[in-house]
Chains A and B, each alone.
Chain A
Amino acid sequence: MTSMSKRFALGIFDDEDVLLHAIENVREAGVKIYEVFTPFPIHGIDDALGIERSRLPIAAFFLGMTGLSFALWMQIYMLGFDWPMIIGGKPHIALPAFIPVAFELTVFFTCHGMVITFYTISSLYPRWKTPVLDVRSTDDKFVVAIEMNEKTDLNHLTQLLRANGASEVNEKEMTKF
């Protein structure tokens, strides 16, 4: 075993309700779950795994505020200060007329900032090859991955996962995962 590779015990489940109970029981038994891979989002899995609520909404708010401030600054600076023009005798800084662009840029910054943040913090980017622990985890299986070291007793883990409804327990070694 090289230092780069990791060994995993994979508990394969067929049903998300069984999975949720299993996650709770496995964690209660003191086993640390490395990651759970599922084909679709499961409600309640965050609580079961102890995943904290995402702070993305806070980021969204500040991104939106950035867009709004930028849009207002841009319009007021360009038409109000940099090159004031008389358009139909209206005020140079015609705030009501600036609202549509301010709104659109608020949405633009929120949305794109959000998506960029999401892909960045989740390290999602195009890659030539995507190694997965079990290819069925994007189809119809729910995979609980438990990282093993020299001291881990695979038999004990297998029993624990089986007892909690796993249909299979596999061992998998991955380099660079």
Chain B
Amino acid sequence: MQHVSPVREPLVTGGKTYHDVTQDICRQVEAKPNIRWMAALSVALFFLGVFLYSVYRTLWYGIGEWGLNKTVGWAWDITNFVWWVGIGHAGTLISAVLLLFRQKWRSSINRAAEAMTIFAVICAAMFPVLHMGRPWLAYWVFPLQNTFGSLWVNFNSPLLWDVFAISTYFTVSLVFWYTGLVPDFATIRDRAKGPIAKVAYSLLSFGWKGSAKHWSRYETVSLILAGVSTPLVLSVHTIVSMDFATSVVPGWHTTIFPPYFVAGAIFSGFAMVLTLMLITRVVFKLEDYITLEHIALMNKIMMVTGSIVGVAYITEFFIAWYSQVEFEQYAFINRATGPYWWAYWSMMTCNVISPQLVWIRRIRYSIPATFVLSIIVNIGMWFERFVIIVTSLHRDYLPSSWVMFSPSIIDIGIYVGTLGLFFTLFLLFAKFFPVVNMAEVKTILKYTVDNGPTYTGNHGHHDQAHQPATHGVPASAPVNYDKHE
């Protein structure tokens, strides 16, 4: 039994019945693709083509196709890797951390956010794999029998920790997401008319029938997966940050990195969730499920994590001065005033100043303002990784090696291309999969009414069992059960 405040805003608006939820979410899965979706998919496919061409150039001619040089050996590839992995974090935060904190509003956005996580991790994985130069030997990163060579992998290396962290993160997110999808696939299966859809969704639904016993286990599994995914999501970006923090490069060698990266990841992830949700709710007419309240709540999370990131930037600067290490100090002065000053100040403006606008209620509840802010934050977070990586490397200990980095057209092609890959996957997901977790949204319909859930367990009620069926009454309309007592 959960107490629900009577003054709380409804989580789902529009007085939906259970059947309305099914209808609203299944509509776009069952309908023929509309023209806007086709247009969006064509654009995404074009950029996917750009990606494939750039990958072909990289593989055929080698890493020399990229703008890297002897001093700056890591640039856009790792920037994009960290950017994409970071974006993924919001999905797991919504699906796991908010589940543990019983934030019921997450129900209508968690499906799409988890899908975003999975697609973002796929995009992220492209960069380290391509940077290997010979991706067909990518399996060498796994601890294999040493007939492949005389050595095992080095378990002391953060790059190897990344292999374990990212592959665990990807597969765990995937099965967590899929397990949540199974009951919804069953709903689509039972509504399907065409023979192909019937078979396809029957296969996808794993024979789910919604029996009480299965639901009981399903809930246990969800809770345990949420429980293990919560430390997992924190560990992933911690380990990503250790790629830098365990090195001795000034600007990277910082103990603040793990929490700073995790906050930044959630910050950028929520920005991407907002971008996607604002489009999805309009295109699929989900305004009753993804309400202004959701947008405001996500804005608040963005503001909190953005502020953590801002404090981290300032702390870094302070510690550089406080350490009295000349090289550390130079790395930071160079960031802010050196040749990459524009990148540094873009980062500061986008990530530190812009999220503070969310304190203003009108901005927090404004769709256009939120949309613009979410894009700005994504740009800012890309610059953050670029600043950390490139400005720390481009002026190393030997001034004769000082260089600037400029990306090649192939670098740009791969980055823009992963956006194409991401949106292709997301659009296919949005068309063929239920974008909102129907089963879970149905459980929260009654939490939106003033009197909340009414079942009180085994006590009382037994002789007054003649409760009339509430047929035709919206499940989220206030139903006063007390009058039957």
Residues of A within 8 A of B (CB): 13-18, 20-22, 24-25, 28, 35-49, 51, 54, 56-57, 60, 64, 74-75, 78-79, 82-83, 85, 87-88, 90, 94, 97-98, 100-101, 103-105, 107-108, 110-112, 114-115, 118-119, 121-130, 132-133, 135-140, 163-167
Q: Return the contact of A122 from the options B217, B471, B481 (Cβ within 8 A).
A: B217
Chain B residues closer than 8 Å to A45, beta-carbon distance:
212, 215-216
Q: Is B256 an interface residue (CB 8 A)?
A: no
Q: Are A104 and B453 closer than 8 Å at their CB atoms?
A: no
Say which size band chain B's interface belongs to.
35 or more
Q: Return the contact of A135 from the options B150, B190, B218, B455 (Cβ within 8 A).
A: B190
Q: Are A140 and B19 closer than 8 Å at their CB atoms?
A: yes
Chain A residues closer than 8 Å to B221, beta-carbon distance:
56, 114-115, 118
Alpha-carbon distance A111/B228, docked complex (angstroms):
7
Q: Is B362 an interface residue (CB 8 A)?
A: no
Q: Are B224 and A56 closer than 8 Å at their CB atoms?
A: yes
Q: Return the contact of A115 from the options B179, B211, B232 (Cβ within 8 A).
A: B179
Residues of B within 8 A of A (CB): 17-19, 22, 143, 146, 150-156, 158, 160-161, 164-165, 168, 171-172, 175-176, 179, 182-183, 186-187, 189-191, 198-199, 202-221, 224-225, 228-229, 231-232, 235, 239, 242, 438-440, 442-443, 453-455, 457-458, 461-462, 465-471, 475, 479, 481
Task: State whether A124 and B454 are in contact (beta carbons under 8 Å apart), knowing that A18-B469, A83-B146 are contacts in the complex.
Answer: no
Q: Return the contact of A130 from the options B207, B442, B469 (Cβ within 8 A).
A: B207
Task: State whether A41 and B224 are in contact (beta carbons under 8 Å apart), knowing that A129-B202, A137-B209, A139-B190 are contacts in the complex.
Answer: no
Chain A residues closer than 8 Å to B225, beta-carbon distance:
111, 114-115
Main secondary structure of the interface of B (DSSP, over half): helix
User: Which of chain A's residues has its CB closest to B212's CB?
Assistant: A36
Alpha-carbon distance A47/B459, docked complex (angstroms):
12
Q: Are B165 and A124 closer than 8 Å at their CB atoms?
A: no
Chain B residues closer than 8 Å to A124, beta-carbon distance:
182, 206-208, 214
Chain B residues closer than 8 Å to A48, beta-carbon distance:
458
Q: Are B183 and A110 closer than 8 Å at their CB atoms?
A: no
Chain B residues closer than 8 Å to A163, beta-carbon distance:
465-466
Chain A residues closer than 8 Å to B158, beta-carbon distance:
100
Q: Are B156 and A94 closer than 8 Å at their CB atoms?
A: yes
Closest 5 CB pairs of A and B: A140-B18, A135-B190, A100-B161, A41-B215, A124-B206
Alpha-carbon distance A87/B187, docked complex (angstroms):
55
Q: Return the contact of A41 from the options B206, B219, B457 (Cβ within 8 A).
A: B219
Task: State whether A21 and B465 are in contact (beta carbons under 8 Å apart), knowing that A56-B221, A108-B172, A112-B175 are contacts in the complex.
Answer: yes
Alpha-carbon distance A39/B143, docked complex (angstroms):
44
Q: Are A127 and B207 closer than 8 Å at their CB atoms?
A: yes
Q: Return the contact of A105 from the options B146, B168, B198, B466 (Cβ within 8 A).
A: B168
Q: Are B209 and A132 closer than 8 Å at their CB atoms?
A: yes
User: Which of chain B's residues has its CB closest to A117's CB?
Assistant: B221
Alpha-carbon distance A97/B202, docked complex (angstroms):
46
Alpha-carbon distance A119/B208, docked complex (angstroms):
10
Q: Which of A57, A85, A124, A137 has the most CB of B within 10 A?
A: A124
Report A36 CB to chain B, min CB distance, Å.
4
Task: State whether A14 and B470 are in contact (beta carbons under 8 Å apart), knowing that A107-B228, A140-B18 are contacts in the complex.
Answer: yes
Q: Are B232 and A132 closer than 8 Å at their CB atoms?
A: no
Report B143 CB to chain A, min CB distance, Å.
6
Alpha-carbon distance A41/B438, docked complex (angstroms):
11
12 further interface pairs, Cβ-Cβ under 8 Å (given A42-B212, A43-B455, A44-B455)? A20-B455, A24-B462, A39-B442, A46-B216, A49-B212, A100-B164, A111-B225, A126-B202, A127-B206, A135-B191, A138-B190, A163-B466
User: Which of chain A's residues has its CB closest to B18's CB?
Assistant: A140
Task: State whether A104 and B168 are in contact (beta carbons under 8 Å apart), knowing that A37-B210, A112-B175, A132-B190 are contacts in the complex.
Answer: yes
Q: Are A25 and B164 closer than 8 Å at their CB atoms?
A: no
Alpha-carbon distance A95/B18, docked complex (angstroms):
53
Q: Are B155 and A78 closer than 8 Å at their CB atoms?
A: yes
Alpha-carbon distance A20/B359, docked complex (angstroms):
45
Task: State whether A51 and B216 are in contact (beta carbons under 8 Å apart), knowing that A40-B440, A104-B235 are contacts in the complex.
Answer: yes
User: Which of chain B's residues has its CB closest to A139's CB?
Assistant: B22
Alpha-carbon distance A59/B192, docked complex (angstroms):
36
Alpha-carbon distance A126/B185, docked complex (angstroms):
12
Q: Are A97 and B224 closer than 8 Å at their CB atoms?
A: no
| Sample of 21 A–B contacts (CB below 8 Å) | A21-B455, A21-B467, A25-B462, A37-B209, A39-B187, A39-B442, A40-B183, A41-B215, A42-B215, A51-B216, A83-B152, A101-B164, A107-B228, A111-B175, A111-B225, A114-B221, A124-B208, A130-B202, A135-B191, A138-B208, A138-B210
Chain A residues closer than 8 Å to B466, beta-carbon distance:
163-165
User: Which of chain A's residues has its CB closest to B184's CB?
Assistant: A138
Chain B residues closer than 8 Å to A38, beta-carbon distance:
210, 212, 215
Q: Are B202 and A128 closer than 8 Å at their CB atoms?
A: yes
Chain A residues closer than 8 Å to B220, beta-carbon distance:
54, 56-57
Q: Are B228 and A110 closer than 8 Å at their CB atoms?
A: yes
Q: Which of A17, A24, A138 has the most CB of B within 10 A?
A: A138
Report B12 CB to chain A, min CB distance, Å.
13
Chain A residues closer than 8 Å to B208, beta-carbon distance:
124, 130, 138
Q: Return the contact of A43 from the options B150, B179, B203, B453 (Cβ within 8 A).
A: B453
Chain A residues closer than 8 Å to B213, beta-carbon distance:
35, 51, 122
Alpha-carbon distance A82/B468, docked complex (angstroms):
72
Alpha-carbon distance A35/B220, docked complex (angstroms):
19
Task: State whether A14 and B211 are in contact (beta carbons under 8 Å apart), knowing that A107-B232, A119-B206, A139-B191 are contacts in the complex.
Answer: no
